[in-house]
Amino acid sequence: MSTNEQVEHAGGTTITFVKVWMVLLVLTGVEVLLAYEQVPTLIMLTILVGLSIIKAALIIAYFMHLKFERLSLFLTLFPMLIFCIVLMLIFLGDATRIPVMRPPV
Amino acid sequence: MSTQASAIDTSSPWAGGQSPYAANSKKFGMWLFIISDSLTFSALLFAYTYSRVANPDWPKPFHFSPSIIFASIMTFCLLSSSLTMVMAVEAMSHGDRKAAFKWILGTMAGGAAFVVLHLSEWMNLINNEGVTPAHNPWGVPLFGATFFGLTGLHMTHVIIGLIYLAIIAQAVIRGKFKYEDVEVAGLYWHFVDLVWMFIFPLVYLMSARI
């Protein structure tokens, strides 16, 4: 346990992390409650995905420490990822047509 | 931030390719892996969503008890294990190897609880609901294929994470490995947690039987 092992640690205290953890738990609870409400599927999907993205952002920013990294790291990694995921969604329109095109049994 | 990186001139990202991210190569490598792995999981989540939209009679096999309760507890386990992993990294940054070792063990306990709960949830689906990768009683075989493919790959990641953390933990307590090694393991573990944050609502909550 040498002292020269200590590293400078920018950002994020224990209290911050516990707060983030609690927010994540609360958001999960909201999601579970929402699943048992009579909400139209599309609205429910939108809210669930929205909450999930918020949760993911919290995990990436605080737990994965990206908030305290260089902006260049974020810019290298994430715009490409988001772009590729959005590209996948182009095909989703096809899925809505398949039930209509299926010949009657 | 490693001590190595701080020795290099990082005044500008454009200062001649000298550590433009001010991150060590292990950390950057793990980030690249995480981004590419995110695309794999996105594709599988997309395949599940596509099949679901294309089949109006998509089954809703998840009863509140046990499936949704188990899945919620699993979410709690993973979120809490992420917190303990952050604590392990924090302890390691102070050079406190014993505390870091204990926090990593706590993280592994959360991960192990997740795997046990998930397997029993799988067994419930296979034995009580009759779902297999190719067949199920509701006549939409794609449900089993996409469900087991997606959750199976995630569970594989958790199990690999447990092995990874075990290797890190034994090295930490024996005085080997540095702060950044624990931090990089933490990045992987948080990613596994993050993926579950999408699988849980999209697969379980959207198909909860009310």
What number is the ipTM of this complex?
0.88
pLDDT of residue A2 exceeding 50, the answer is no
Hey, is B149 helix, strand or coil?
A: helix
Calculate the average pLDDT of chain B.
Answer: 91
Judged by phi (left if over 0) then psi (alpha if -120 to 50, else beta), residue A12 lies in left
Taking residues A22-26, report their average pLDDT.
Answer: 97
- The pLDDT score that the predictor gives to residue B12 is 62
Residue in the structure block whose two tokens are 């870091």: B100
Domains present along chain B, CATH in parentheses: 80-210 (1.20.120.80)
Q: Give contacts of B75 with chain A, Cβ < 8 Å.
A: 28
pLDDT category at A9 given cuts 50, 70, 90 is low
Chain A interface mutation, best of B10, B25, B79, highest count of A Cβ atoms under 10 Å: B79
Spatial separation of the C-alpha atoms in residues B116 and B93, rounded to whole Å: 31
Task: Provide the token pair at A3.
Answer: 């002292």
Task: Provide the token pair at B24.
Answer: 């060590």
Hey, is B136 helix, strand or coil?
A: coil
Model pLDDT for residues A25-48, shown as the tens digit of each residue: 999 999 999 999 888 888 999 999
Give me the residues of chain B with pLDDT under 70, please: 1-18
Model pLDDT for residues B138-147, shown as the tens digit of each residue: 989 999 999 9
Model pLDDT for residues A45-103, shown as the tens digit of each residue: 999 999 999 999 999 999 999 999 989 899 999 999 999 999 999 998 899 898 888 88
b/e per residue, B121-145, with b = 16+ CB within 10 A? bbebbeeebebeeeebebebbbbbb
At residue B62, what are phi and psi to the nearest 5 degrees? -95, 100
Contact across the interface for B1 and A7, Cβ inside 8 Å: yes
Instruction: List CB contacts of B3: < 8 A, sequence separation 6 or more.
Output: A7
User: How many other C-beta atoms can be found within 10 angstroms of the C-beta atom of residue B16?
Assistant: 7
Q: Give contacts of A10 with chain B, Cβ < 8 Å.
A: 1
Q: Give contacts of B43 with chain A, Cβ < 8 Å.
A: 88
Helical H runs in chain B? 3-7, 25-54, 69-93, 97-128, 141-173, 179-199
User: In chain B, what are the helix, strand and coil shares in percent, each to the nearest 5?
Assistant: 75, 0, 25
- The pLDDT score that the predictor gives to residue A4 is 47
How big is the A-B interface in CB pairs under 8 Å? 152
pLDDT of residue A12 exceeding 90, the answer is no
Q: Give contacts of A40 with chain B, Cβ < 8 Å.
A: none
At residue B19, what are phi and psi to the nearest 5 degrees? 50, 65
pLDDT of residue A1 exceeding 50, the answer is no
Nearest to A76 by CA among B22, B45, B4: B22
Nearest to B85 by CA among B198, B182, B176, B172: B182
Chain B interface mutation, best of A24, A43, A66, A69, highest count of B Cβ atoms under 10 Å: A24
